[in-house]
Amino acid sequence: MSPASVEMESVARDYCNLIETADPTDGCWLERMASILPRLHAAVAALGDASVMDHSMSPDLDARFELFAELREMLGNRDGYWMQFDVAQDGQSMSGSLADDLTDIYCELKHGLKLLAQEPNRALEDWRSGYHLHWGQHLLDAERHLYELKSRNQL
């Protein structure tokens, strides 16, 4: 495996471990998340562009929703954020969700980690194509929202 592939696997494992050990009483969890997302961004960028826009992941929607609900509860009022197109001024209309972003990234990375042992090339290609087709936007949105929380001392 190339150094970029090794780094991607390492960051994916770190990210998934951070999600799997999320603890609502851990005051530093979001700070650790805010520091791992740029590493993840750099690692997936180092893999290069996807050669094929084909993606083999078929998510377990029940497990995905369960994780989303747990993260949303844990994040509380730090979950929702304004998207560029949001116009309403009440908190009820916020359409961005950090829990949704983190969940989608987790599902994509976990899928790749499961594939890695049997089909390493497929795992890397899925990470690349999935990033460009889907979870890259979640990564950007999560980084932006965590930056805003940090700047307001709300991590």
What is the reported pLDDT for 27? 82
Quick one: pLDDT band at residue 1, thresholds 50, 70, 90?
Answer: confident
Which segments of 36-106 are extended strands (E)? 80-81, 96-97
Q: Report the alpha-carbon distance of residue 95 to residue 24 in Å, rounded.
A: 23
Q: Nearest CA to 111 among 51, 143, 63, 73?
A: 63
Distance of CA 119 to the CA centre of its chain: 22
What is the reported pLDDT for 86? 45
Q: What are the structural domain ranges in the chain?
A: 3-151
Q: Which CATH number among 3.40.718.10, 3.30.365.10, 1.20.120.1550, 3.30.413.10 corresponds to the domain 3-151? A: 1.20.120.1550
Structure tokens at 132: 């460009």
